[in-house]
Amino acid sequence: MEYELRYANKHLPISRKTLAQLLSEEYPHVVCRDGSIHMFRKSELRELMRYVSSEEAEKLVLPIIIRVDTDLEQLTGFIDDELSAKIVARILNIEYSKTPLTLYKPQIAILRERFSTAFQIAMYMSFSREYGEI
C-alpha cells in the first residue's frame, strides 16, 4: 500500500516556495517529485494576497497541501500547517480553532475551483486501516 500512495502522490512538490517568492517570479513554479513542473497562475496568487498580510506572504508556502484521508467514507481533507489553515478559514469564511483544519468535499471543491494551482491534494491512509485497531 505504501508504494501505491507514493505513486498517487508523485505530483507533490519536492519543496515549496513562499507566496512572496512566487509573486516575484516571472513564471511561478515548483518542481514535483516526479520531475514535472507545477506552474502557478499569477492571477490566483494575486487573488490569494487578498486574504494574506505582507508578513504572512513571506511565510505562507505554496502549494497548500490538502491531506485527504482515504480511510474515511466521506471525502475529508485536512490542512496541517497552522498558517495555511488560518488563511483557508479566511477564504472559506469559517471559524478556525485548531490545526488540523478539517475540510469537507464542498469546501475542497470551492478551493480547487477558485485556486486550482495554489492547492494540491495528498492522499493519506491512517494507521488504523493498514494495521487494524490497536
Residue-by-residue pLDDT tens, the chain, 134 positions: 555 555 567 789 999 999 999 999 999 999 999 999 999 999 999 999 999 999 999 999 999 999 998 776 788 999 999 999 999 999 999 999 999 999 999 999 999 999 999 999 998 766 544 444 43
Ordered by start, the domain boundaries in the chain are 2-131
117: left (phi over 0), alpha (psi -120 to 50) or beta: alpha
Q: What is the pTM of this model?
A: 0.85
CA of residue 70 relative to chain centroid, distance: 16
